Chain A
């Protein structure tokens, strides 16, 4: 039975990973990554890591991915990357070759390893293996210093994100009267999340198209980056 679940979850994880890389729209990449993370949580459960699986679902697939979705919705409204074609065929072929070479190398390293225990299922462990109380006990006794350092790292990252992404002042000029080229590529007032969050009320009013009532939409194709 474990084999069936392993193959379902493993194939799901690999398909999610391929989807993250191949899909053109970043929003769908994020959704593929959520699927990938849920499959990985199933793999963790098969390895008797219950607490890590729960943390994976709650923290990763829940919190971090919501952050990604918000930023993709905020930034994706005007995609300046659509000005350029995606990477050329040569770079893509090189990347695929590099990935294949890396996989072959890692597979040789794993399969040719001298570790005898790799062939087995691992030793039989009790029900407390990977349970929250066991993990919590380890975190507060044996790994107390890494635990505290990790909390400090999270604090620094939160402060750094606030400093990086704040509205104005400090980093550089963010003059609301400055007119950029990008303002003309996407007509205002079409209800993007960027307008809702950024409050860019200083843009020009809707420019009417040649047809009369319809505003001209001069943006490129969607999700080309």
Chain B
């Protein structure tokens, strides 16, 4: 894909200039994952592997439905299963499809030091341009959702692309295509928000009074949203952050401190130069040499 030029960037990592963005007349897209309709079949996981030609190493059974146990460089989406006993003492099987949330204000992109290694298109998709990636792992620190994974083989960071290659030619992401229950929907963000509203209404009418849409404002909203039956407690769903935001440490480091540090260094150099101009160099004088000799050879001095 890197051979096709993109002229629809709205953000580009480690770039101080406006990225090519003339083709910005694009609708913001969103993937809506309706947790209440998911049956945990993992068709989305399989479709992701198939479309993206990803084949992770075959692992071992770990006593959990989660398979593999965690995201990795070749697993960009993962079903996470939670068995939760609700207030009535009933078991609820909460299944969440985990993966990149495609934040409107992406922490990975903010933290990335490599120009153009992470970009955001006008449709909202956050994409890793791997040939620019230097493998530092800063995106891992920037991400509030613990998504990017660095490959030990090629030292590049990987995550869900929201099938930017498919979306770019008018197709829906592979996981959406494969979902047999319609739990994963894809379209414009406004359409998906409207659709989520209908789903939430339905859930509420069935007794899930806390049902709601997960589109966290702490990261400016996301382009992957969830319909949750327990939207008041997102962390029930395998630790989905309750109020995600880019870490303050990362914000200070990449925000205020970056220009301050360079200014501090530059000022020190300028101060040195000004001292050179005002006071000038400190040179040993012939009188000093005479005094020095006198200290070293006091007897000769007496003679």
Q: Do A and B bind each other?
A: no
Task: Please report A residues at the B interface, Cβ cutoff 8 Å.
Answer: none
Task: Please report B residues at the A interface, Cβ cutoff 8 Å.
Answer: none
